[in-house]
Amino acid sequence: MRRMFILGLGFLLVGQVASAQTLLLRYFYDEAASGNQNATDSGTAPLADGTFVTNATRTTNTPGGIGSGNVAALDLTGTAPKYLNAGDVDKLDGLTQLTLTSWINLGGTPANGNRVMAKQLGSGNFDGFSFALSTPTSGTISASNFQLNLALGGSSGFAFTTSGVNMSADNTWVFVAVTYDGTVTSQNLQFYTGTPAGAVSPFGTLKDVNVGPLVANANDFRVGASSAGTSSAPIRIDDTRVYNGVLTQSQLDVVRQEGLVPEPATLGLLGGCTLLALVKRPRRTA
């Protein structure tokens, strides 16, 4: 009886943790090996499929490589402008906590401000969020020398935060992520990176951002472009996700691994990795 109670309590705790880390939106781009068929949203309802705009297409150059089961990625290299557009996705509005993740691979030189993904107003308080590439801390921006940035427009104002560390994605796949916790006002924003062969680790230091919950807006959610513009980097993008909640480093590494060898079906919550953490936790001896 006691064992059943403990097991039931464990599953309850997993559910409580996972409920704060809901996968709102995910595009994996594997609907076809090529072409511009809509990207299917496998997040939470109401689903928001993404439309390939102008010259956007698919590539078989993926983070997992040939034979991994990862069929295709979004290809925005070549003639611009091109991006993925989902329209005004209300479930991404007004988030108090968020996690944004994606794989990126640059096929040429980006411009300062080229987006990975965004749902944000283009003026005023810049309500919403924008995850993008920035001018490096030194030298000229290039595929092998740039920062990450996160721009947030919340109830307490606007903040533009860069990683403070340069990185490269020059014709190579890099996992990028950022988390933000609007329930606190300091040490609440963190960038992360990983590679196909390397686990997720923090990228730069914890940042202090005081903008509170994000403000809802009626602009489009776009991958590869801002919500108010059409310019895009010469970039390949795979496994784009938006979570409501702050994922831990270990949970982000599960996301990284899922992008290399995708599961037949993706859970809307990361309860699985939380459960594994509980199972693997060593027993206390005293």
Please report, in tens digits, the pLDDT of each residue of the chain (286 residues total): 433 333 343 333 333 334 469 999 999 999 999 999 999 999 999 999 999 999 999 999 999 998 788 999 999 999 888 999 999 999 999 999 999 999 999 999 999 999 999 999 999 999 999 999 999 999 999 999 999 999 999 999 999 999 999 999 999 999 999 999 999 999 999 999 999 999 999 999 999 999 999 999 999 999 999 999 999 999 999 999 999 999 999 999 999 999 998 755 444 444 444 333 333 333 333 3
What proportions of the chain, in percent to the nearest 5, are helix, strand and coil?
15, 35, 50
Closest CA to 215 of 126, 280, 144, 286: 126
Query: What does the alpha-carbon distance between residue 251 and residue 216 come to, in Å, rounded to a whole number?
Result: 27
What local confidence, expressed as pLDDT, does residue 69 receive?
A: 87
Element (H, E) at 83: strand 82-85
State pLDDT tens for residues 68-101.
889 999 999 998 889 999 999 999 999 999 999 9
What local confidence, expressed as pLDDT, does residue 7 receive?
A: 35
What local confidence, expressed as pLDDT, does residue 79 receive?
A: 84
What local confidence, expressed as pLDDT, does residue 187 receive?
A: 98
Using CB atoms within 10 Å of the CB of residue 192, give its burial: 0 to 12 exposed, 13 to 18 middle, 19+ buried.
Answer: buried
The secondary structure of 203-235 as a DSSP string is EEEEE-----SBPP--SPPEESS-TT-----SE
Q: What is the arrangement of strands in the sheet containing 128-134, beginning at the earlier edge strand?
A: 51-54, 82-85, 222-223, 115-120, 128-134, 147-154, 157-162
pTM of the complete model: 0.87
Closest CA to 222 of 157, 124, 94, 131: 131
Residue with tokens 């340069």: 166
What local confidence, expressed as pLDDT, does residue 280 receive?
A: 36
Q: Are 155 and 212 in contact (CB under 8 A)?
A: yes
What local confidence, expressed as pLDDT, does residue 4 receive?
A: 37
What local confidence, expressed as pLDDT, does residue 264 receive?
A: 56
Query: What does the alpha-carbon distance between residue 161 and residue 158 come to, in Å, rounded to a whole number?
Result: 10
What local confidence, expressed as pLDDT, does residue 263 receive?
A: 58
Q: Are 184 and 207 in contact (CB under 8 A)?
A: no
Query: What does the alpha-carbon distance between residue 76 and residue 85 come to, in Å, rounded to a whole number?
Result: 13
Half-sphere exposure of 14 (CA within 13 A, CB side): 18
